Structure formats: C-alpha cells, structure tokens
Chains A and B, each alone.
Chain A
C-alpha cells in the first residue's frame, strides 16, 4: 500500500527535525530513507508509524488519512534498531503477539507463526528466549513478529545498525529477497549509502530536516541534485572548483585542453584498485585507477602528471559546479 507524507513539519523544542517534508512511497516498493544521523529520517519513519505526531502536515497510508490515528490502528509493521524483543516471551510468543492481541484462533496462530519462523529460518529456535539468540537472529525474529499481523506497510528503523559488518551484509541480501517474496511496501532508514544502494528500489536522501533528492540508486549516483547528495552517495574528490568522482578522472603523461598539472604525493595499491593521491595548485585530489592504467604510467611520489576527466565517455560524467546546491 502506498504511503504519502505531505508538508510534514516536526519540532522538538527549538530543534527542527523535519521541515515541510513531502514523500511518496509507491505501493509494493522498497524505499530507503538515507541521510546523516540527526537529519530527521527516523523521525519521518516514526511519524508514519504513529509513534510521533507531526506538528503539521498529513500522512496517508493506502489512500486514507492516518495523521491522527494511533499506532494501534495503522496496521504497520515496525522493526527497531535494537530489536525491541519481548524479553520474557519465547521466540514463538513474540511472533504470535500481534495475532494473540487480535484474538485469532489458536490453530490459525500456530500455522501462521510456524510459517513465519520458517521464512526467517528460526523454526528450530521457537522455544528459546530472545536473550539466547544472536543479534541477527533477534532482528529476524522482530521482522517475523512485524510481518505476522500482515501489515499494510513495513517500517524498519536502522534495522541492521546494531549488527556487525558480516551479519549486516547477509541480512541486507536477505531483506531484499524477502521483499521480492512478500511484496509488502517497505521503508527502511539507514545512514549507510552502500546499504541503501544495494537494497532499495528508490532512495530518499534526507538531511537537516529536508529532502535533498529522491530517485533510484543509479539516478542519485549519476545525477546528484547537489554536492551534498553527490558526496553522500559515493566517493568524491575536488578538481579545480568542482567535485568529481575519483573514478571519473584519468592521469596522462602529456597535457591537453582538459587536463591540469598535478604532483603525485602517494600511490596506494589496494589489489585491483590503485589510489593516486596528488596535489593540484596546493589542493589535494585523488584518482581511482586500475592496475593496468597505472602500469602504463611512471608514477612515484614527486612525479608530475596531468589529471583530467575520463575521455572515453565524457557525457556520462556529471560534474556540477561546487556551491550548486539548493
């Protein structure tokens, strides 16, 4: 079911968490709210869930105005960063909670919970307490618990933020696959651009209580609306007065109209990737090259080269001027 937030504003005392924010989440999509911490993305998610009340603005879920509805009547599934597992209940009872509240028949609850535990690969842990599970398992349990009530929308607040890197990567892939199976409209909050790019169909970049840009991962990467989005969604370096992606730069031995002179400071070999750090007119720049590209050049600290945009596909490179932000 689609979610629409229109002109939502939220203040906490003097702090403006959200300022006149409007978002459309299409039905069945997997959307990431991406941004630095304190930027308002979690607040927006909590307003959609009904855990916070906006000062002004409207929230619609599946076409009906939900702005003043309590969280109990919104039929949303919510997953917290720190799991919010019911510690005194077994995994089974955690997942069954929403169905027990809805007073469903016992056999229906059992069938549904067993099915969900299988979906999240926790069937053999049904009678354990959450404390006996690992972080990743707890978060999968929390997801099964949220899905049990067949929510119209699934909201996840930094769902992998408390997990270590390895588990985080696994769960990302797993969430993507799960969404492809279950097709529930899903919004998740993250400050990790790689996570957003890997998992989401569409990304909403939020910072300072405003929306910076909305689009698909490739749109945001290739056509960032401003320097903030560009630098948040991938590596950037400065060449002259412009921000560029380091892999959109090349080094040459001979100058031409597009290049400027640079002095090599350091050459970092990271396996296939080679990072060349240099100085142009006293400003640091770094260039991301492959091993083959570097082998053709005679690079050492102190050597003089000419740096310029990649020549093969210049139209691909979008280089907005610095200060071109909103």
Chain B
C-alpha cells in the first residue's frame, strides 16, 4: 500500500508540475493544425531570435567545454594554493540568481564603468550585444561541464596517464589518447547539459541584451515579448520549439547515460 501511495504521489507531482503544462503547450501550439505554427515560426523576428539563440548557445558551449575540461583537470590533478576557493567559485553560478549575474556584468562592462568605457573607446561593445550575452550564458552554465568531468577524472585516477608518460607520450598526446577517451561520455553529458541550459537562459540575458527586437532578442525573450503583445499563437509556437529541443536533449542524455556506466 505504502509503495503504491508513494508512486501515485510522485506521478501526480510530475503530472501537475511537468507533464500537464508542457503537454498543454504542445496541444495549444497545434490546436489549429500545422500551417499557423509554420507561419508563426517563419516570422522574420522569430527566425532572427532563433539564430541569436543558436549563436549564443554554441559559443557558450564551446568556451565552457574548453574551460570546463581545463578546470576539471586543474582541480583534480594538481595541488595549488587557493584550490578550495576555486572549487567554491565554480559552484557560484548555481547559487546566484541569473538576474544578479546580468546586473553584475553591466556593472563591469557597461558603458559607464571604467573598464566598459575603456573597451567602448576601442569600439568593443559588450553590453547590449553578443559578447555580453555570451558572457552571461557562460556564467550561468559554467559549472555543468566541470561537475560532470571532475568526478570521472577522479575515478579513473592518474595511473593510466603516468603509464602513458613512461611510454613516451607528452602531455598533449597523453590527454588526447588516454584522458579524453576516458572522460568522453561525461564530457558529452556535460556539453548536452550546458547546451540545454544555454538555450533556455532568460534572466541574465534579459538584463544584458537590452532586448532589441531583431538584434539581441533570443528565443526565450521572443516568447515573453509575443506573450505580452497578446500574440499567444506566436508565443506558443516558439515555446514549442524550446520544449521540443529540450525533449530531444533529454533523449540524447538518456542515450549517453548507460554508455557512460559501461565505460
């Protein structure tokens, strides 16, 4: 009895919080068939928002992948003063509200700060343009690759790498031939998580981008704008795209998981 009660409670919880809302978005989107959806999604502003989202997400994923692997190696394989501090800093983005992240970036890189002003004098605009949006996205998705890769590095230990050294492999060869294949599934998982987080980011982007329609508007910002302008169909169509990508990502993650355990 207790088992069934627990199952029922879990299912009801998921139903009301997850399945119902997401299912409704899908249903509302296709309420009047496919063509109005297609029409909404091929609006120039929607297409542009989609492009901006992809650009920001891909740049953030690439940079966070490189940075994430480097930091994971640093934290697991090396001893240095301030290591614990660095470890704590990596988790900071999980604790800080994205809106605060956005405001903090404006504080440093905005036109009226000394550093932002210095950059602006050299023709580099960070806030209200792509660099700032990428930075905000990097910030909020920073820990994901590190936290997936670091435990795996810890688990595989350093002996395989040391064996490679004694066999003549330099640091780069050792990383490419021994370390990278050993962490590949964890890395893939981290990348997928980072991508999901980057595509869905709203708060920090909302502050940093300036929400210029057709310029710095991402898909999440587009959804909000369409909704507020009473274009519910447009909001649902764009939401559907975001939710659909999320579902695909979820499937990809589930395909990756068992392989990671096998390796």
A contact set with B: CB distance below 8 Å: 49-51, 70-72, 74-78, 80, 82, 84-89, 97-98, 101-102, 142, 145-146, 148-149
Which of B160, B167, B178 is the one whose CB lies under 8 Å from A149?
Answer: B167
Q: Are A101 and B165 in contact (CB under 8 A)?
A: no
- The interface residues of chain A lying within 8 Å CB-to-CB of B182 are 87-88
Bound together, the chains give a CA A84 to CA B165 distance in angstroms of: 12
Q: Give A85's nearest chain B residue, CB to CB.
A: B160
| Chain B 73-123 interface residues, beta-carbon cutoff 8 Å to A | none
Q: Are B166 and A87 in contact (CB under 8 A)?
A: no
Bound together, the chains give a CA A299 to CA B73 distance in angstroms of: 67
| Chain B 225-263 interface residues, beta-carbon cutoff 8 Å to A | 263
Q: Give A82's nearest chain B residue, CB to CB.
A: B159
Bound together, the chains give a CA A33 to CA B45 distance in angstroms of: 74
Bound together, the chains give a CA A102 to CA B163 distance in angstroms of: 15
B contact set with A: CB distance below 8 Å: 156, 159-160, 162-170, 173, 177-178, 181-182, 263
Would you give the shortest CB distance from A9 to chain B, in whole angstroms?
20
| 10 tightest A-B CB contacts, nearest first | A98-B167, A84-B159, A78-B166, A84-B163, A71-B165, A88-B181, A101-B168, A101-B169, A71-B166, A80-B159
- The interface residues of chain B lying within 8 Å CB-to-CB of A84 are 159-160, 162-163
- The interface residues of chain B lying within 8 Å CB-to-CB of A102 are 168
Report if A72-B159 is in contact (Cβ < 8 Å); known contacts: A86-B178, A87-B263, A101-B173: no
Bound together, the chains give a CA A297 to CA B173 distance in angstroms of: 71
Which of B156, B159, B162, B177 is the one whose CB lies under 8 Å from A71?
Answer: B162
Bound together, the chains give a CA A87 to CA B166 distance in angstroms of: 17
Which of B156, B162, B164, B263 is the one whose CB lies under 8 Å from A97?
Answer: B164
- The interface residues of chain A lying within 8 Å CB-to-CB of B167 are 97-98, 101, 145-146, 148-149
Q: Give B165's nearest chain A residue, CB to CB.
A: A71
Would you give the shortest CB distance from A84 to chain B, in whole angstroms?
4
**Which one of A77, A80, A102, A145 has the greatest number of beta carbons of chain B within 10 Å?**
A80
Which of A49, A72, A80 is the one whose CB lies under 8 Å from B168?
Answer: A72
* 16 A-B pairs in the complex with CB atoms less than 8 angstroms apart: A50-B165, A50-B166, A71-B166, A76-B166, A80-B162, A84-B160, A86-B160, A86-B164, A86-B178, A87-B182, A88-B263, A98-B167, A98-B168, A101-B167, A102-B168, A142-B163
